[in-house]
């Protein structure tokens, strides 16, 4: 047993432990920041109740957990250590156990509550970061006011071919973009219980053609895109500002979005009043 972990009981956990898992997630989010949706049951379950699990318990409380999806390719894993129990080698033990479950297969580790210490541990064990996303929060007490770009009008977005084509054209030149099937992309929005059709918008230029779009899930700015010929004309800022105002008018106290670490749009979001609330990342061991 690693020093400083005397009295811990290591055992599996499962669906019946979702309440204590949520408590562990909330404790980590409270200190580290990260994706607040992680504390909601669907994502807690998806990340932390996979095919194989190991938890560290102390006096009946869960202080660390790791879950491995050994039936997937690559094998997936997510682990957490309560902030009060860090610095005792528990994270190393969780990572070692996850690696043992993966065997010789590739291992994809996901963290929704990124920390620099965890990154150092993963790097030391040969995991390479493949993705880093910043979680941004906007206090809606004073939503920004952005004037409409010349000739641009907004209207509610219809879940159909035009919206998908606007998305595809807006994102096609991004490095690593993989175009999904139209019905898959539209179906994900249609099936999401949080989809806000009244706040999801399409921007049109003077000729009526689509020049940008935004989709909204609950209080999250889900995706924002501007077609290449219209970038640099405040279309994205106008779309997001209208969403923020709409959320505020609907009674929300905050809006959220995630932006890739190397996406230049992060500067736009900060100018609109978004502030960093944590990070999330993925790491791969081959």
The domain segmentation of the chain, as residue ranges, is 9-133, 141-252
Assigned CATH class of 9-133: alpha beta
**Local structure of 229: helix, strand or coil:** helix
**Helix or strand (DSSP H, E) at 122:** helix 116-124
Which residue is it, tokens 């907004």?
A: 154
Q: Which overall architecture, per CATH, does domain 141-252 show?
A: 3-Layer(aba) Sandwich (3.40)
Position 6 scores a pLDDT of 84
pTM: 0.92
- Strand 153-156 and strand 128-139: pairing? unpaired
Each residue's pLDDT, cut to its tens digit, for the chain (286 residues) gives 344 678 999 999 999 999 999 999 999 999 999 999 999 999 999 999 999 999 999 999 999 999 999 999 999 999 999 999 999 999 999 999 999 999 999 999 999 999 999 999 999 999 999 999 999 999 999 999 999 999 999 999 999 999 999 999 999 998 889 999 999 999 999 999 999 999 999 999 999 999 999 999 999 999 999 999 999 999 999 999 999 999 999 999 999 999 999 888 999 999 999 999 999 999 999 9
Domains 9-133 and 141-252 share a fold: yes
- The answer to whether the beta carbons of residues 243 and 216 sit under 8 Å apart is yes
Evaluate whether 195 touches 217 at the Cβ level (below 8 Å).
Answer: yes
């Amino acid at each position: 047993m690693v020093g400083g972990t005397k009295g811990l009981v290591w055992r599996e956990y499962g669906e019946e432990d979702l309440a204590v898992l949520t408590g562990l997630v909330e404790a980590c989010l409270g200190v580290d920041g990260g994706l607040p949706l992680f504390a909601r049951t669907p994502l807690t379950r998806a990340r932390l109740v996979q095919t194989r699990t190991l938890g560290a318990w102390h006096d009946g409380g869960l202080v660390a957990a790791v879950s491995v999806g050994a039936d997937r390719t690559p094998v997936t894993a997510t682990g957490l250590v309560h902030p009060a129990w860090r610095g005792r080698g528990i994270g190393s033990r969780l990572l070692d156990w996850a690696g043992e479950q993966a065997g010789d297969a590739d291992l994809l580790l996901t963290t929704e509550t990124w920390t620099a210490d965890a990154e150092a541990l993963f790097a030391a064990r040969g995991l390479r970061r493949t993705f880093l996303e910043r979680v941004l929060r906007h206090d809606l007490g004073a939503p920004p006011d952005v004037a409409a770009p010349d000739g641009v009008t907004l209207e509610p977005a219809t879940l159909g071919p035009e919206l998908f084509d606007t998305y595809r054209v807006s994102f096609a030149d991004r490095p690593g973009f993989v175009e999904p099937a139209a019905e898959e992309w539209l179906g994900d929005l249609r099936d999401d219980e949080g989809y806000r059709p009244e706040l999801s918008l399409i921007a049109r230029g003077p000729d009526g053609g689509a020049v940008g779009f935004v989709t909204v899930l609950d209080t999250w700015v889900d995706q924002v895109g501007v077609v290449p010929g219209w970038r640099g004309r405040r279309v994205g800022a106008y779309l997001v500002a209208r969403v923020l105002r709409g959320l505020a008018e609907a009674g929300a106290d905050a809006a959220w979005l995630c932006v890739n670490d190397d996406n230049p749009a992060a500067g736009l979001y900060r100018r609109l009043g978004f502030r960093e609330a944590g990070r999330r990342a993925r790491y791969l061991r081959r």
